[in-house]
């Protein structure tokens, strides 16, 4: 039995614990929902309406939703390591690791357990609670599953939450990684479906949704978000949030990346986005995915402290922590500590 009601923002809230819906894909059968999430349905129009609110009204609303579900002054820390860098066959127009573009990133092999656990130990010492491992792969190859499973088990044994982003994943592979101790799988929708093809030609939106479905069906937490500032319109930013919020259940973790302009990539000279639009995107993510951790992800190094503070006010409650993302820079530990002290933010 469904219980459906319409609230003040025109969204339909449907609690339906045994079925997972995707807004761009035919239905498929999945395991029961993770207990922390619920199926909500947001119309594109209601999301556009949120984006169009006066800035102060939007911030007030987002902060209210945030306080209903989270401690307002707490931010979760995730640390990121590139376990296999560069030489990727995909042509993602933003990415320094694509073999299609000359960005100066050198390709390297998969790191071994010692290198990964050393980085995880450092991250843990610095206060991170989740360790994310990223590989410049189009998809996980079956021959690498065992090696990656060993990395996951070793990090999990250090009492860190584990996350991987390895490209497309089959259901069996997702089950194997879950069995090795993987808590989260990151796979971003990246942008709205209608402009996806302008940015990536080597795979399609449905491929991404299928991977997210595999992750869900293995009982893992989903980490999925996108990139803002790739030349998209406000309506297209709303389109990305519309896809994410209607995944049913929406992701537990939603990274909102600001495009890092990398020389050599097709998007290197994209016109800079007004920072207020980035903050608005965080706020709309918070309102439409109230129980998700919304991560202020790539692009913090290029952002002033005031913009980051506004993102926390808009409901961001997670960051990537440590002075490197995958191949590009991130604020140093000391800078983040100073910002948190200034804002009275506790880290978890």
User: In the annotation, is 311 catalytic?
Assistant: no
User: Is the alpha carbon torsion for 14, 19, 20, 23 positive or negative?
Assistant: negative
Is residue 145 close enough to count as binding ligand SAM by CB under 6 A?
no
Query: Among residues 208, 280, 286, 295, which one is catalytic?
Result: 295
> CA-to-CA distance for 181 and 153, rounded, in angstroms?
6
3-state secondary structure of 52: helix
Is residue 225 close enough to count as binding ligand DTB by CB under 6 A?
yes
> CA-to-CA distance for 322 and 80, rounded, in angstroms?
8
For ligand DTB, the binding residues in 59-88 under the rule CB under 6 A are 80
> CA-to-CA distance for 198 and 191, rounded, in angstroms?
10
Query: Among residues 92, 280, 286, 311, which one is catalytic?
Result: 92
Pick one of 86, 96, 251, 275: the residue that binds ligand DTB (CB under 6 A). Answer: 96
98 binds, among ligand SF4, ligand DTB, ligand SAM, none (CB under 5 to 8 A by kind): ligand SF4
Contact predicate 169/140, CB 8 Å:
yes
327 binds, among ligand SF4, ligand SAM, ligand DTB, none (CB under 5 to 8 A by kind): ligand DTB
For ligand SF4, give the closer residue by CB, 94 or 321: 94
Structure tokens at 139: 């998809």
User: In the annotation, is 164 catalytic?
Assistant: no
Is residue 165 close enough to count as binding ligand SAM by CB under 6 A?
yes
Strands across the sheet containing 12-15: 3-6, 12-15, 40-41
Q: Give me the residues that bind ligand SF4 (CB under 6 A), please.
A: 88, 90, 92, 95, 97-98, 136, 138, 167
Pick one of 70, 94, 185, 278: the residue that binds ligand SAM (CB under 6 A). Answer: 94
Nearest Cα neighbor of 303 from 327, 340, 269, 278 is 278
> CA-to-CA distance for 86 and 252, rounded, in angstroms?
28
For ligand DTB, the binding residues in 228-287 under the rule CB under 6 A are 255, 257, 260
Contact predicate 46/239, CB 8 Å:
no
Query: Among residues 11, 88, 280, 300, which one is catalytic?
Result: 88
Structure tokens at 93: 């127009």
Q: How far is CA 150 from CA 153, 178, 181, in A?
A: 5, 12, 10
Contacts of 277 (CB under 8 A, 6+ apart): 228, 234, 237
Instruction: Name the one range near ligand SAM by CB under 6 A: 22-30, 61-69, 92-100, 215-223.
Output: 92-100
Contacts to ligand DTB by CB under 6 A: 80, 96, 134, 165, 186, 188, 225, 255, 257, 260, 297-298, 325-328
Contacts to ligand SAM by CB under 6 A: 94-95, 97, 134, 136-137, 165, 167, 187-188, 190, 227, 257, 259-260, 262, 298, 326
> Which sequence positions are flagged as catalytic?
88, 92, 95, 132, 163, 223, 295
């Amino acid at each position: 039995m469904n219980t459906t009601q319409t609230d003040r923002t025109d969204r339909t809230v449907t609690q339906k614990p045994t079925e997972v819906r995707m807004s761009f894909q035919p239905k498929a059968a999945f395991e029961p929902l993770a207990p922390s999430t619920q199926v909500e349905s947001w119309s594109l129009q209601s999301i556009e309406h949120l984006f169009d609110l006066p800035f102060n009204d939007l911030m007030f609303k987002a902060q209210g939703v945030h306080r209903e579900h989270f401690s307002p002054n707490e931010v979760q820390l995730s640390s990121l390591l590139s376990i296999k860098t560069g030489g990727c066959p995909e042509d993602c127009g933003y990415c320094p690791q694509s073999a299609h573009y000359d960005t100066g990133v050198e390709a390297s092999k998969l790191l071994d357990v010692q290198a990964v656990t050393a980085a995880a130990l450092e991250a843990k010492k610095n206060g991170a609670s989740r360790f994310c491992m990223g590989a410049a792969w189009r998809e996980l190859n079956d021959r690498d599953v065992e090696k990656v499973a060993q990395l996951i088990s070793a990090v999990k044994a250090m009492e860190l939450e584990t996350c991987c982003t390895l490209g497309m994943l089959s259901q069996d592979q997702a089950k194997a990684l879950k069995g090795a101790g993987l808590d989260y799988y990151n796979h971003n929708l990246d942008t709205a479906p209608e402009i996806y093809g302008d940015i990536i030609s080597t795979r399609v939106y449905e491929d991404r949704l299928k991977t997210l479905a595999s992750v869900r069906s293995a009982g893992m937490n989903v980490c999925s978000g996108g990139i803002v500032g790739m030349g998209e319109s406000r309506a297209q930013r709303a389109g990305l949030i519309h896809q994410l919020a209607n995944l049913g259940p929406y992701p537990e973790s939603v990274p909102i990346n600001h495009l890092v302009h990398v020389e050599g990539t097709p998007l290197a000279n994209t016109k800079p986005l007004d920072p207020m639009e980035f903050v608005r995107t965080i706020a709309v993510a918070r309102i439409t995915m109230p129980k998700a951790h919304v991560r202020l992800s790539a692009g913090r190094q290029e952002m002033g402290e005031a913009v980051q503070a506004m993102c926390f006010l808009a409901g961001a409650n997670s960051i990537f922590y440590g002075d490197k993302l995958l191949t590009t820079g991130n604020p140093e530990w000391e800078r983040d500590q100073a910002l948190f002290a200034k804002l009275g933010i506790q880290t978890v």
